[in-house]
Amino acid sequence: MVYLTLLICFIASIIITPIVKKFAIKIGATDKPNHRKVHQKIMPRLGGLAIYISFIIGLLILNPYNASAIPIIIGSVIIIVTGVLDDLFELSAKIKLLGQVAAALVVVVAGGVQVDYINLPFDGQIHFGIFSIPLTIIWIVGVTNAINLIDGLDGLAAGVSSIALITISAMAFLKGDIFVLSVALIVLGSTLGFLVYNFHPAKIFMGDTGALFLGYIIAVLSLLGFKSTTMISLIVPVIILGVPISDTFFAIIRRIVHKKPLGAPDKSHLHHCLLRVGFSHRQTVLLIYAIAALFGVAAVIFSMATIWGAMIIIGVLVLIIEVTVEKIGLVGKEYQPLLRLLSGKNENN
C-alpha cells in the first residue's frame, strides 16, 4: 500500500503542478531575473504548493499513525503559509525565520522530536538537558535553510531532496520504521512528480513554498527515532544532507573570510562555482545529483560500519569535500590550504 501511495502522489503531483502554475501566474507569484539568478525570464513559482497538496493526499490515503504525526502536519502548515507569503510578498529574513522557528517548536515541543542524549563511541554519555530543545530547533531551521540555499538551478533542490528522501526511506526500511518510511515515500512521490516540470528547462519553480517545506520535512524525518542515540547514528543525517549542509557551511566561511554579513546573498554557491568552471546547466545539476547520491550511499554504509570503519568514512568524505571546495573556489580563488600543502610536498619530492 505504501508503494502504491507513492505512485498516486507522483501522478497527483503531475496533475496538480500545471494547475498551480496557472494559479501562480494569475496571482503574481513569479520570480523575476536579476544579477544573482541564472534564469533569464519571468518564471511562476509557488510550485511547492503542488508538492504539499500531493503530500496531504498521500497522508489521507495512508493515514499513518504516530504520536508525532499531528505536530508534524501542524508544523508543515506553518511552513507552507510562510513559504506562500514569501513567494507572494517576499517577506523579510526575520519574518521567514520566525515562521521556521514556530514550525520547529511545534514539532519539538508537542511532537517530542528531539535528541535528549548521545552515547559516545568508546564510553560515556552526553546529556543535552535544557539544550536539547534549542539544539533540535537549530537543526530543523538549519536544514530548512540549507535546502532553500541550494534552490538555485532548475531541478536542483527537488533532485537533491529526492535523493535524501530515498536514503531516509532506505534507512527507515532497514530499521523497520514504517512511519518514517511511509512519510518519506509520500514526499518522494510528490517531489518527483513536480520534478517532471522543474528539471531543466524548468516550466515552474518550487519557490520558498517548496524549498522550506522539503527542508523542514527532511530535517524532521532525519531526526525521528534519534531521541537517544549513539554519536555514530547522529552523524548519519548530516551525511545524508551532505550537499546542502556543506554548501551552507562554506557559504558562512566564505562570508567570514570576505568580511561580509552572514545573510548577504552572493553568486558563489556550489552550483554557481560549477557553472563558472565550465559545466552546463544540466551537467551541473546532474553532477550535484551524483555527489548527493554518493553521500546517500556513504550514509547507509556508515550506519552499518564499525566505529573505526565509520571514522575512516568520515575522514575520506571530509578530504573529498575539502579538495572539491578548493578546486572549484567555493570559499574563494585564494583559499587552497590543502592543495598548496600537497603541491609543496610534491615539489620537495
Question: Is position 208 annotated in a ligand binding site?
Answer: yes
3-state DSSP of the chain: CHHHHHHHHHHHHHHHHHHHHHHHHHHCCEECCCCCCCCCCCEECCCHHHHHHHHHHHHHHHCCCCCCHHHHHHHHHHHHHHHHHHHHHCCCHHHHHHHHHHHHHHHHHHCCCCCCEEECCCCCEEECHHHHHHHHHHHHHHHHHHHHHCCCCCCHHHHHHHHHHHHHHHHHHHHCCHHHHHHHHHHHHHHHHHHHHHCCCCCCCCHHHHHHHHHHHHHHHHHCCCCEEEHHHHHHHHHHCHHHHHHHHHHHHHHHHCCCCCCCCCCCCHHHHHHHHCCCHHHHHHHHHHHHHHHHHHHHHHHHCCHHHHHHHHHHHHHHHHHHHHHHCCCCCCCCHHHHHHHHHHHHC
Binding residues for Mg(2+): 148, 208
Binding residues: 148, 208
